């Protein structure tokens, strides 16, 4: 899996967590917003991504035991009923002692260690704008749009220069082709982004074992 920023297409790499302050606010500019570095740090670990994916798929709340079982199943590529004690315990302990407290501190989730109750937090929305999930076999959408722009420029240039076979097309065919190509690509991009490219958009989270 590759994780790209929408605007710069840099790999998501974060080192350390920085405390949120009024001088280093995240995208929303609120007191609960998290910094850019902290967003990358939170998303860099697959278990924290799985937590968000599970919460978005299950009404934005869960219990620690249910969450740990499902994440263990995703990690091992098996059904929940096939998990053994060690697989469950390993994920449960990691979530309870490391990942959920860290996400709670960042207001991405609200975690009650006593009851094991977990709810999605107010800062979770700040993470959505950073993550463009691209399968290894696919290319980023920005490259697709760049390629489409090149094709359109070639078509328009060929028509203006009177080169066959584009010159034989009706005058309105070229601008109609350009507009339609970008419209169709944008609609497909929007659909895929909502259904597959975001955490919680598909049944299994990105990078989960089959």
Judgement on whether residues 111 and 162 belong to the same structural domain of the protein: no
Report d(CA 96, CA 113) in Å as an integer.
7
Judgement on whether residues 11 and 106 belong to the same structural domain of the protein: yes
Residue 205 lies in a domain: no
Q: Which residue has the higher pLDDT, 131 or 193?
A: 193
Residue 116: pLDDT band (50, 70, 90) is very high
Judgement on whether residues 6 and 87 belong to the same structural domain of the protein: yes
Residue 158 lies in a domain: yes
Max mean pLDDT range (28-42, 108-122, 132-146): 108-122
Percent above pLDDT 70 for the chain: 70
* Contact (CB, 8 A) for 65 and 89: no
Residue 208: pLDDT band (50, 70, 90) is low
Residue 153 lies in a domain: yes
- The verdict on pTM exceeding 0.75 is no
Report d(CA 47, CA 176) in Å as an integer.
46
Beta bridge partners of 118: 62, 111
Mean pLDDT of 73-98: 96
| Domain boundary pick from 81, 106, 132 | 132
Residue 44 lies in a domain: yes
Residue 6 lies in a domain: yes
Report d(CA 128, CA 130) in Å as an integer.
6
- Which pair of tokens denotes residue 209? 């074992």
Residue 209 lies in a domain: no
Judgement on whether residues 49 and 95 belong to the same structural domain of the protein: yes
Using left for φ > 0, alpha for ψ between -120 and 50, and beta otherwise, residue 131 falls in beta
Show the domain range for 155: 136-195
CATH code of the domain in which 58 resides: 1.10.10
Residue 82 lies in a domain: yes
Report d(CA 154, CA 106) in Å as an integer.
48
Judgement on whether residues 24 and 106 belong to the same structural domain of the protein: yes
Q: How many domains does the chain have?
A: 2
């Amino acid at each position: 899996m590759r994780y790209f920023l929408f605007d710069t297409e840099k790999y998501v790499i974060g080192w350390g967590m920085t405390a949120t302050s009024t001088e280093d606010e995240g995208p929303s500019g609120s007191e609960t917003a998290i910094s850019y570095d902290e967003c990358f740090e939170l998303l860099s670990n697959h278990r924290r991504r799985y937590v968000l994916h599970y919460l978005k798929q299950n009404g934005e709340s869960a219990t620690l035991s249910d969450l740990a079982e499902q994440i263990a199943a995703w990690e091992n590529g098996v059904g929940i009923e096939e998990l053994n004690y060690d697989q469950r315990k390993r994920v449960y302990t990691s979530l309870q002692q490391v990942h959920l407290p860290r996400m709670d501190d960042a207001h991405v989730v609200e975690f009650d260690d006593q009851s094991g109750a977990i709810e999605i937090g107010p800062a979770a929305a700040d993470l959505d704008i950073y993550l463009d999930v691209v399968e290894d076999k696919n290319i980023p959408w920005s490259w697709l749009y760049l390629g489409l722009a090149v094709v359109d420029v070639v078509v328009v240039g060929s028509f203006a220069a009177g080169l066959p076979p584009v010159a034989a097309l009706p005058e309105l065919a070229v601008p109609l082709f350009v507009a339609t190509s970008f419209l169709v690509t944008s609609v497909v991009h929007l659909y895929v982004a909502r259904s597959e490219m975001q955490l919680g958009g598909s049944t299994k989270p990105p990078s989960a074992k089959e």
